[in-house]
Structure 1
Amino acid sequence: MCKTPEDARERQAVKPVICYPNETLPEVPLALYQAARDGAEKVGETLVPARDARCFEVPAGHFVRISSVEGSQVGDLNFWNLNDLSERFYSGKTRALHGTHVTTGERLWSSFPTLRPMATIVADTLGWYGIDEYGGSVHDVIGTRCDPYTSNLLNDNQYHYCCHSNLTRALADHTGMSLHEAEPHVHDVLNVFMCTGFTRDTGQYFMKASPVRPGDYLEFFAEIDLLGGLSACPGGDCSAEHSSDEAACFPLLVEVFAPKAGVLDGWEPAAMNGYDRSHGRDQG
């Protein structure tokens, strides 16, 4: 039985402290990126079908834009180092450094031991949304991805078009790996355009209808050579459910842009984290 202590309110009133103050993060050169984006030429395009996924490649120093083109639709995004799939987007550390939702000027960070920026958000047409009265916002790094295992656990079904499954098939198709080989590389996502938060009373993860409309987009600058994977979620705008054959779903467009020659002269891809791991071994 849980007994409320006499000093309960006093304990609850303790002010919070930010775990990872981010004022010392490397400055984001948005002016440089904007100069590089101006006049950039489209060099690639991938249409991600509804309830499906596709992979795409983005060389370092290029831009990639994800757009809503036909209807309100959210997407689950994975990023890997194109040359080493063991380095991948780390949603948990991105959340710790920037917050539960990301927007222009914030970065997607990679997994240990590299822990470096993989991509920087340079444009977000939903940046106006902010945080609503429910605590909801867009482009979250809270959720994992809809997957067949949780769907089976909660609903006792065998749904095969969850974002996890879609991304696994897309990665296998793009790389030539088997599904068994590809699946462990699929990881927690950036929920592009998805509107989410936590309930105030129970602390549960919630979703609500996305504010995205055709013409809205989220755009990144590639800090390293990227392999991307994007699933057009089977929940559509996620106003009711996120693993469904009933929800209205639409494709998403991925476009890659190359800057004009010379604009990024002197720029270098993001360096790996400088921590010397030998120190940790010596302590044992």
Structure 2
Amino acid sequence: MKPTTPNFAPPKDAQQRRGIAPVICYPPNARVRADLGAFAELLARAKRTNVVTVPPRDAACVDIPAGAFFRIVSVQGSQVGDLNLWSKADLNERFYSGKTRALHGTHLSTGDRMWSSFPNLRPMATITADTLDWYGFDEFGGSVHDVIGTRCDPYTGRLLSGGDYHNCCHSNLTRALADHCGLSVNVAETYVHDVLNVFMCTGFTRDTGQYFMKASPVRPGDYLEFYAEIDLIVGLSACPGGDCGQEHTSDVAHCYPLEIEVYDPGAMTREKHNTPLKSSYDRSHGRG
């Protein structure tokens, strides 16, 4: 956090320097636009083939084939979820929240893509529907579905409180991936990564630049819907913070389950899906 009282006097041209107009790092034409009409046609032919319940303060994983849809659904009360994605073929290819944030912004919604880690850098999933898209940005600068937070974890918990808490999202996802893939928790933990905070309402304070959270506007029946661009393992934790309106990493908040619904347009339709290619960069890094 920057000091509220600066230690150094501003230069004479301080106001001029502050007034320089910003430049968007990645202009919109640098991104591939999603064809939402085509997704809607596919979804209209799809059938719900699976529903996975994620218990409060716990996590679950499910396989999603390329060309299928999945939804994260609020079913009982206001609850946020921490989402991880992995390539089914290679756990080392996982969701890259930082690059997704750079390409799409701090909060995701319909038409945005979730990009994979280097050296692949390709779309893993595309958001095709968001029942909270009405929220936008509020007067505090908050919005939903962020890629700025990490995930509640036992290491930060111990740092701040001196105690251990095992139902934080990092640990929940670690256990779920370990069970799903037959790994030890120590090995599974190496694949758990920064998340998409589904339904979570967050932002940065304008005066100190601190990450904040506030009660999620999510209601039972709301959902965030995705199209799987590659064969995926989807991991979702129902955060111990509940709606994250007060605190997280504890058993204080009221928590509710979440559901992952899978919608499959059928094997024949999925076979027509064009899996995104991995980055064509030759990885020479100037040493070719």
The residue that corresponds to 1:276 in the other structure is 282
Normalised to the residue count of structure 1, the TM-score between the two structures is 0.97
Could you state the TM-score of these two structures normalised by the residue count of structure 2?
0.95
Q: How does 1:91-106 map to 2 (within 5 A)?
A: 91-106=97-112
Distance in structure 1 (CA, Å) of the matches to 2:216 and 2:271: 39
Q: Match for residue 164 of structure 2?
A: 158
The equivalent of 1:243 in structure 2 is: 249
Q: Please tell me whether the aligned partners of residues 66 and 270 of structure 2 are also in contact (alpha carbons under 8 angstroms).
A: no
Alignment correspondent of 1:226: 232
Report what 2:221 is aligned to.
215
Amino acid at match of 2:101: R
User: Which amino acid counterpart does residue 12 of structure 2 have in structure 1?
Assistant: E
Specify the alignment match of 1:55 in structure 2: 61
Alignment counterpart, residue 137 of structure 2, candidates 127, 131, 135: 131
Paired position in structure 1 for 2:261: 255
Percent identity between the two aligned chains:
65
State the partner residue of 1:72.
Answer: 78
In the alignment, what sits opposite 1:143? 149
Q: Which residue of 2 aligns with 1:87?
A: 93
- Matched AA of 1:200: R
**For residues 138-184 of structure 1, what are the alpha-carbon distances to aligned partners after superposition, in whole Å with 9 as ceiling and x for unaligned?**
00000000001001111111111110000001011111100111101
Q: CA deviation at 1:244?
A: 1.4
CA deviations 1:2-52 (Å, max 9, x no partner) are 122111111111110011113132231211111100031112111000000
In structure 1, how many angstroms separate the alpha carbons of the residues matched to 2:268 and 2:81?
33
5+ residue gaps, structure 1: none
In structure 1, the residue corresponding to 2:93 is in which secondary structure? strand
* 2:48 is aligned with 1:5: no
- Structure 2 gap segments, 5+ residues each: 1-6
Letter in structure 1 aligned against 2:110? T
Structure 1 contact 74–210 (Cα < 8 Å) conserved: yes
- Please provide the CA RMSD for this pair: 1.2
Q: Higher mean Cα deviation, 21-30 or 52-61?
A: 21-30
Letter in 1 for 2:253: A
Q: Which moved more, 1:154-163 or 1:113-122?
A: 154-163
Distance in 2 between the 1:122 and 1:27 partners? 12
For the residues of structure 2 that align with 1:236 and 1:13, how far apart are their CA atoms? Answer: 40
Contact 1:36 1:264 (8 Å CA) reproduced: no
Q: Aligned partner of 1:35: which letter?
A: E
Equivalent position SS for 1:277: coil
1:3-42 matches, within 5 Å, as 3-42=9-48
Work out the CA distance in 2 between the residues paired with 1:252 and 1:276: 41
Q: 2:186 — aligned with what?
A: 180
CA distance in structure 2 between the partners assigned to 1:116 and 1:231 by the alignment: 24
2:227 aligned partner, one-letter code: F
1:49 counterpart letter in structure 2: P
Distance 2:46 2:110 in 1: 19
User: Which deviates further from its counterpart, 98-107 or 23-32?
Assistant: 23-32
Cα distance in 2, alignment partners of residues 154 and 279 from structure 1: 40
Tell me whether 1:44 sits opposite 2:45 in the alignment.
no
Q: Is the 8 A contact 1:208 1:238 kept in 2?
A: yes
Kindly indicate whether the alpha-carbon contact (under 8 Å) linking 1:35 and 1:263 is maintained by their aligned counterparts in 2.
no
Residue 265 of structure 1 and its aligned partner are, at CA, apart by 6.4
